[in-house]
Structure 1
Amino acid sequence: MLDAKVKELINTQINKEFYSAYLYLDFANYYYDRGLDGFANWFDVQAQEERDHAMLMRTYLQNNGVRVTFEAVDKPDQSYENDAAPLRLALEHENYITERINTIYKAASDVNDYRTMQFYDWFVKEQGEEEKNADDLIRKYELFGSDPKGLYALNQELLGRAYTAPSLTV
C-alpha cells in the first residue's frame, strides 16, 4: 500500500505532466505561427512525451489500487518576446519538473517505498535527458538562430525529430 503523501504527490504530478503537454503545445503553436515548423515539431513531440509520462504515472497508481483524480489543466498564459523565449521557458519548466520528481523520490525514500523509488528511477534519468535536450536546443539556437541560413538548417534538423514511446513497464 502506498503512503498517503506519496500517493498525493504522484497524483499531483500526473496533472503537472498534463500541464507540461499543454505548455509545449502552446510553444508549438507559437512556432507554427512564426513559420518554424521544425521547432513546432520538436515541441509537439515533447508534448506527446509529457502525456505519456502522465499516463505511466496514472497506470502506476492504478496498479497500486489508488484512484487517480484529474484536476483542471491550467491554460498556458505566456507571451513570447522573441523566438528564443519558449526555449528558455522550456528549460525552466524542465528544472521545475525535476524538482517535483525529486520530491516524490525523497518522499518514497522517507517511508522506505522501494517500489515507487524503483519506478521513479526512470523518471530521474529521463529528467536529466529532458534538461540536457532543452539546454542543447538553447545552445544551438544561440549559435545559429541569428543567421537566417543557420536558423533554416536548425529548423530542418528539428523537423526530423520523431516521437518514440517510452520503454518503461509499469
Structure 2
Amino acid sequence: MDARVRDLINQQINKELYSAYLYMDIADYYEEEGLKGYANYYMIQAQEERDHALIFRNYLHENGEKVVLDAIAKPDKVLDSFMGPLEIALEHEQYVTALINGIYEAALEAKDFRCQTFLQWFITEQLEEEDNAEDMITKMKLFGGDPKGLYALDTEYAARAYSVPSPLAAK
C-alpha cells in the first residue's frame, strides 16, 4: 500500500473517533435540554462514526498495514441553542467528506484501485450524512420554533434505530 494512502487512512481512523466524541457531546447537550429524541439520533451517529473507524481499521489490517491510534481531542464547540448543534454537525460532515475525498485522490494518484473501490462506500455514506444533516436543519427552521413541532421532531428522532453498516455486517 502506498505510504501516503496508509497514513491518510490512519489519520481518518482518528478523525472518525473524534466524530464519535463530537456526536456524543451533541447527544449530551440535547439530553440535558430534555430532547431525548435528538439525543438518541446523535448517540446513533456516534456509534456509526465508531463503526467507520473500525471499517478503516479493518481495511488496514486486511492489507497488512499497522494501525496507529493518536489521542482524540475533546470537542470544543459551544452548544447553546437547538439549531447550533445541527449546524455544527453539517459543517463537520462536510469536513469529513473533504477528508474522504482527499484519501480517494491519494489512492487515485497511487493507482490504488482496491482502495478506490473500498472508498466508494464512504463516498455514498457521506452523501447521505450531509443530506440528513441538511434535512435536520430545514426541519428545525420550519418546525422547531413551535413547541408542538419540536415535540414531533423529537419523537421522530427517538424512533431512529441503529443498524450495523454493511462493511461491518459482512465480517
Query: TM-score category by the smaller chain?
Result: over 0.9
Distance in 1, matches of 2:49 and 2:144, equals 26
CA RMSD of aligned residues (A): 0.8
Residue in 1 that maps onto 2:37: 38
What is the letter of the counterpart of residue 33 of structure 2?
A: R
Task: Give the match's secondary structure for 1:70.
Answer: coil
Distance in 2, matches of 1:65 and 1:53, equals 19
Give 1:99 shift. Answer: 0.1
Distance in 2, matches of 1:78 and 1:132, equals 22
Can you list the C-alpha shifts for 1:116-167, whole angstroms capped at 9, x where unaligned? 0000000000000000000001111111100000000100000000001111
Q: Which runs of 5+ in 2 are unaligned?
A: none
Residue in 2 that maps onto 1:142: 141
Runs of 4+ in 1 over 3 A off after TM superposition: none
Residue in 2 that maps onto 1:73: 72
Distance in 2, matches of 1:111 and 1:155, equals 46
Distance in 1, matches of 2:32 and 2:165, equals 29
What is the letter of the counterpart of residue 138 of structure 2?
A: R
Distance in 2, matches of 1:137 and 1:48, equals 19
Give 1:47 shift. Answer: 0.5
**Bigger mean CA offset, 79-88 vs 24-33:** 79-88
Identity rate of aligned residues, in percent? Answer: 54
Give 1:78 shift. Answer: 1.8
1:14 and 2:13 equivalent? yes
Can you list the C-alpha shifts for 1:57-97, whole angstroms capped at 9, x where unaligned? 00000111111010000011121231100000000000000
Give 1:29 shift. Answer: 0.2
Residue in 1 that maps onto 2:122: 123
Q: Which runs of 5+ in 1 are unaligned?
A: none
Residue in 2 that maps onto 1:98: 97
Task: Give the match's secondary structure for 1:21.
Answer: helix
Distance in 1, matches of 2:115 and 2:37, equals 36
Residue in 2 that maps onto 1:83: 82
8 Å CA contact 2:26–2:79 kept in 1: the answer is: no
Residue in 1 that maps onto 2:4: 5
What is the letter of the counterpart of residue 2 of structure 2?
A: D
What is the letter of the counterpart of residue 106 of structure 1?
A: E
Residue in 2 that maps onto 1:133: 132
What is the letter of the counterpart of residue 21 of structure 2?
A: Y
Task: Give the match's secondary structure for 1:69.
Answer: coil
Distance in 2, matches of 1:30 and 1:74, equals 18
1:157 and 2:156 equivalent? yes
1:64 and 2:63 equivalent? yes
